[in-house]
Amino acid sequence: MPNSPAVDTQVAVVGGGPVGTLLARELALLGVDVTVLEKLSSPDGFSKAGTLHARTAQTLHRRGLLEAVQPGPPAPPVGLGRVPFHFSGMFDLDLGRVVTEGPVMVGSPQAWAQEVFAAEAERLGARIRRGRELVGLDEEPDAMRLTVRGPGGATETLRASWVVGADGARSAVRRLTGIPFTGTPARVGALIGEVRLLDPARAPQGWQRNPRGWTLVWLNLFGRSRVCTYDFRGPHADRRAPVTLEEFRTEVERIAGHPVPMDSPSGLTRFSDAALQAEYYRVGRVLLAGDAAHVHFPAGGQGVNLGLQDAVNLGWKLAAEVHGWAPPGLLDTYETERAPVAEAVLENVRAQVALMDPDPRMDSLRTLFARMMHFDDVNQYLGGMISGVDVTYDTGGRGDPLAGRFAPDLLLKTGDTLTGLAELLHDARPLLLLLTGSEELRGAAEPWRPRVNVVTATASEPIGTDALLVRPDGYIAWSAPGGAGDADALAGALGCWFGDPA
């Protein structure tokens, strides 16, 4: 769709991290003219997170991106035994008992995934402009005016119909828009970076807790090891102060209790356990996603997963708004669906930080909690929370047991072809899957054909419905209970989510 003469781009995404680049890819895939503005002149190559949990992996599979974000061999499928994961540094969860589709976890360094998404976005027509810092944001009658500082310090103006802030915890978009960022303040001072350990045999191995704090070491005998420290004595006096190698080494040695020689530092930085959330995700033509909308202590890599799912939830809704067919209120469902998910993550992370307190008085509580995680119900509850597979949305399908749930990757036969449901969502269009060949349902959907893919297929196993209406993000908007009125109910759901066909 061509730009209006009054704007330079339909959507400006501020922030070229994994959330911003995946969102740009989603928008470009749906024919939106999108420009990404990234402050860094080139990627720094440093990954703060490296784990994609099950729901994120399932979501990327529905775009055909899952294999691309794995730099090594593909992750093993489900059903191969116990998959231990931690809650508060206690590795007593078994995510293998929680996840029923696809890999339980995927090793994907954030920097790698980010470049995959960026390359995909550019392939589809998005523009990624690096070395551009947002310094001003002003509302006009039909657009937003962005003032951007370029590599040489000169400023330029960009006009966009919509702006999405995916620019991290210190979001310029959020600050310039005046959206409050509230929650609980920091009480932990943490350091992270990569260093060459000169005596790796004496370095603390893995996750180590003692009364002085925590050290986390991911040992690499052939290069830099990732090292992290948690200091529960209080937050950093200056969160933005540069971290020197001397400070980093001294803190590791203080907690470990013995010398830990190191050199060749990279990516040394500070963080904390502040748990903050934007009070609203949208103001007019401005939206927030990822860390710009929510930040928390990096417990189990939940932050990047939360942000990537923000991007896929928002992308198709914003594209519908840009193309002019979004039903009233569709874009607002981005906040009503995603904000509660973020709030729940912030709560579980606060609980984990409390349990990580190194005070020996916490030892008995940690022991008790670790034993409880072996109970099926506790494992299911915490594992579903960490992996994201417990996420459901209120899609308005009252009395519909499947509405709001994530559609499984059914094996389908269409004619002589076998395919999976996930493959039918690669183009990010809504899918009406007819499992009985109902002409009545097909006729009801006919007016929406320009926006909705209609597929008749036979499923490899019964799922208790004659039809599924699946949103582009993979969640079920409606299912057919089988009976009178199904066609009218389908038309109502199509109109609710995909607008007036006229």
403 within some domain: no
**Weakest-pLDDT range from 74-83, 117-126, 254-263:** 74-83
Q: Is the pLDDT of residue 456 over 90?
A: yes
Measured distance CA(412)–CA(4) in Å, rounded: 41
CATH number of the domain within which 447 lies: 3.40.30.120
Average pLDDT over residues 241-255: 98
Residue 372 confidence (pLDDT): 98
Helices (H), 356-438: 363-372, 376-387
Same domain, 260 and 335: no
Under a CB-based contact definition with an 8 Å cutoff, are residues 117 and 21 in contact?
yes
Residue with tokens 């029923």: 100
pLDDT band for position 77 (50/70/90)? confident
AA identity, residue 457: A
Same domain, 89 and 234: no
For the record, the structure tokens of 494 come out as 């199509």
Q: Which residues contact 163 (CB under 8 A, 6 or more apart)?
A: 11, 12, 13, 14, 137, 144, 146, 173, 285, 286, 287
Structural domains counted in the chain: 3
- In tens, the pLDDT along 147-163 reads 999 998 999 999 999 99
Whether the per-residue pLDDT at 483 is higher than 70: the answer is no
DSSP string, 420-462: EGGGGGTT---EEEESS--HHHHHHHGGGTTTSEEEE-EESS-
Cβ contact 38:190 at 8 Å: no
Identity of the amino acid at 367: T
Domain match, 280 and 266 both = no
**Phi first, then psi: what are they for 13, rounded to 5°?**
-100, 120
Reply yes or no on whether the pLDDT at 285 is more than 70. Answer: yes
- Distance from the Cα of residue 129 to its chain's centroid: 22
Statement to judge: residues 215 and 95 lie in one domain: no
In a domain, 392, yes or no: no
Best CA proximity match to 292, nearest among 241, 283, 94: 283
Report the alpha-carbon distance of residue 296 to residue 17 in Å, rounded. Answer: 17
pLDDT at 328 over 60: yes
pLDDT on residue 434:
94
pLDDT at residue 254 in the model: 98
- Strand pairing category for 225-231 and 189-197: antiparallel
Residue 107 clears pLDDT 60, i.e. is over it: yes
Predicted local distance difference test score (pLDDT) of residue 3: 55
Each residue of 112-159: pLDDT tens digit?
999 999 999 999 999 999 999 999 999 999 999 999 999 989 999 999
What is the structure's pLDDT at 1? 43
Q: Which of these ranges, 47-61, 186-200, 226-240, 281-295, has the smallest mean pLDDT?
A: 47-61
Question: Do 432 and 472 lie in a common domain?
Answer: yes
Q: What is the pLDDT averaged over residues 486-490?
A: 92
Q: Are residues 68 and 172 in the same domain?
A: yes
Residue where a domain terminates, one of 256, 273, 290: 273
Is the domain of 239 the same as that of 312? no
- Domain membership of residue 40 (yes or no) is yes
Residue 65 has pLDDT above 50, yes or no: yes
Q: Rounded to the nearest 10 degrees, what angle do helices 333-355 and 376-387 cross at?
A: 120
Read off the CATH number of the domain in which 288 is found. 3.50.50.60
Both 174 and 315 in one domain: the answer is yes
CATH code, domain with 260: 3.30.70.2450
Residue 138: per-residue pLDDT: 97
The reported pLDDT for the residue numbered 155 is: 96
Shared domain check, 310 and 221 = no
Both 284 and 345 in one domain: the answer is yes
* Average pLDDT of the chain to the nearest whole number: 94
Q: Please say which residue of 320, 353, 387 terminates a domain.
A: 387
Alpha carbon 396 to chain centroid, angstroms? 24
Q: Are residues 61 and 109 in the same domain?
A: yes
**Between β-strands 34-38 and 9-14, what pairing exists: parallel, antiparallel or unpaired?**
parallel
Kindly state whether residues 268 and 280 are assigned to the same domain. Answer: no
Helices (H) and strands (E) in the chain, counts: 11, 27
CB contact at 8 A, 58 and 409: yes
For the stretch 25-53, pLDDT in tens is 999 999 999 999 999 988 877 777 789 99
DSSP string, 196-211: EESSTTTSPPEEEEET
The answer as to whether 393 is a domain residue is no
Q: How many residues can be counted in the chain?
A: 502
pTM exceeds 0.75, yes or no: yes
**Res 198 pLDDT > 80:** yes
Q: Which domain holds residue 227?
A: 189-273
